[in-house]
């Protein structure tokens, strides 16, 4: 059975327009070993692409339900009488019908095991979630129970349970938002957004979701975050993509390729310890002022100020001298000034910068 036919029958089944003959065909194919992975992938894709209508459940919960139904096949069939083929039919019909039969969640959760975080889906469903939505046209800043600050962009929704900050700090985000997380090493802070989970101890970062491009970006301002795939999208947690993102870096997760790409942000800001008090964007006076300083010293100081690794392609570049004041310049403007001075160029490679040029011969000895 090809993907197109399976997708057609599944859509007919979901919309309650399937004929008796089509239903027989559908059930017969569901009983086949070769079709199970195709069906699982199709149903999971539907759940991820279009949240369940008529329910307030966050999308990640629907995905977790689906994932755990698939993983629970062996336990389910042990409880069902009859032939093996009919047992398998029941499991996969239930998986396909999850979109229509969301009202049966309390029954389904009795069949569910633990998820990757050690939290049962039934306990998630029984929690009393609080939801905050920005219905205005301007960013909305909220304070969470643990003191963390979240700024929701228009249309964004954040959900968390009433015990937030006591036994855990898990939030579920729909849309775009900025976070300034209160540090608590004992209770990591989690943000679930589409297929991406962001884990932090205490930092500030942005999450931007682009449904048109099927990607999610995590942009770090301060601290360090771990960004990973949501375990609900795979049956093998060992294959989850995970990256570490530091200040002035961003990780973009592609839902199509299931890969992260890390890079520098468009406008890197000086790290907190290198800025003037009360002004996050202004570099502390004198910190980037140089007088006949060797380029290696200049680049080291620039790297420390912005938290970005800067390398030289040619060691002779370190012989060049630089005089100038870069305190009022952003990172990339500073690089351009340096490179113009020593007849060099630079290239951004991932999260690092490579300075290229012929360099200077024994200039430091003259």
pLDDT at 108 over 70: no
* Cα angle: 96, vertex 98, 101; to 5 degrees: 125
3-state secondary structure of 332: helix
**Residue-averaged pLDDT of the chain:** 75
For the chain, percent helix, then strand, then coil, each to nearest 5?
35, 30, 35
Percentage of residues in the chain having pLDDT higher than 90: 43
Tell me, what's the pLDDT at 303?
Answer: 94
pLDDT tens, position by position, 5-43: 777 777 776 666 777 667 666 666 655 544 444 555 555
Q: Do residues 209 and 175 touch, judged by C-beta distance below 8 A?
A: yes
Model-level pTM?
0.62
Tell me, what's the pLDDT at 84?
Answer: 44
Which has more confidence, 267 or 40?
267
Tell me, what's the pLDDT at 269?
Answer: 86
pLDDT at 168 over 50: yes
Contacts of 52 (CB under 8 A, 6+ apart): 59, 62, 99, 102
Average of per-residue pLDDT across 245-259? 92
pLDDT tens, position by position, 30-84: 555 444 445 555 555 554 454 444 444 455 555 555 555 444 444 444 444 444 4
Long-range CB pairs of 298-306, under 8 A, 24+ apart, other chains included: 298/322, 298/338, 299/338, 299/355, 302/326, 302/331, 302/334, 302/335, 302/338, 304/271, 304/274, 305/270, 305/271, 305/274, 306/248, 306/268, 306/269, 306/270, 306/271, 306/274, 306/331
């Amino acid at each position: 059975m090809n993907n197109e036919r399976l997708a057609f029958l599944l859509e007919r089944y979901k919309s309650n327009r399937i004929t008796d003959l089509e239903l027989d065909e559908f059930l017969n194919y569901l009983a086949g070993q070769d079709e199970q992975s195709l069906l699982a992938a199709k149903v999971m894709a539907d759940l991820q692409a279009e949240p369940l209508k008529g329910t307030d459940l966050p999308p990640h919960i629907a995905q977790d339900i689906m994932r755990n139904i698939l993983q629970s096949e062996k336990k389910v069939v042990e409880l069902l009488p009859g032939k093996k083929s009919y047992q398998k039919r029941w499991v996969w019909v239930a998986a396909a019908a999850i979109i229509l039969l969301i009202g049966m969640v309390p029954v389904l959760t009795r069949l569910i095991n633990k998820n990757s975080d050690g939290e049962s889906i039934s306990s998630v469903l029984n929690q009393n979630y609080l939801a905050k939505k920005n219905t205005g046209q301007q960013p909305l800043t909220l304070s969470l129970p643990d003191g963390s600050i979240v700024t929701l962009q228009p249309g964004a929704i954040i959900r968390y349970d009433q015990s937030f900050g006591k036994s855990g700090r898990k939030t579920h985000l729909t849309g775009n938002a900025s976070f300034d997380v209160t540090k608590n090493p004992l209770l990591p802070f989690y943000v679930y957004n589409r297929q991406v989970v962001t884990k932090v101890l205490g930092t500030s970062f942005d999450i931007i979701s682009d449904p048109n491009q099927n990607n999610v970006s995590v942009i770090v301002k301060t601290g360090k975050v771990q960004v990973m795939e949501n375990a609900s999208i795979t049956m093998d947690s060992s294959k989850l993509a995970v990256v570490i993102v530091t200040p002035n870096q961003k990780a973009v997760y592609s839902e199509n390729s299931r890969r992260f790409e890390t890079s520098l942000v468009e406008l890197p800001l000086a790290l907190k310890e290198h800025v003037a008090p009360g002004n996050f964007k202004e570099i502390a006076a004198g910190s980037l002022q140089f007088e006949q300083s060797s380029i290696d010293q200049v680049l080291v100081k620039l790297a420390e100020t912005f938290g970005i690794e800067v390398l030289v392609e040619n060691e002779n570049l370190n012989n060049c001298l630089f005089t100038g004041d870069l305190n009022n310049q952003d990172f990339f403007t500073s690089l351009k000034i340096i490179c113009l001075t020593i007849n060099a160029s630079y290239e951004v490679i991932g999260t690092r910068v490579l300075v290229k040029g012929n360099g200077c011969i024994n200039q430091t000895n003259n």
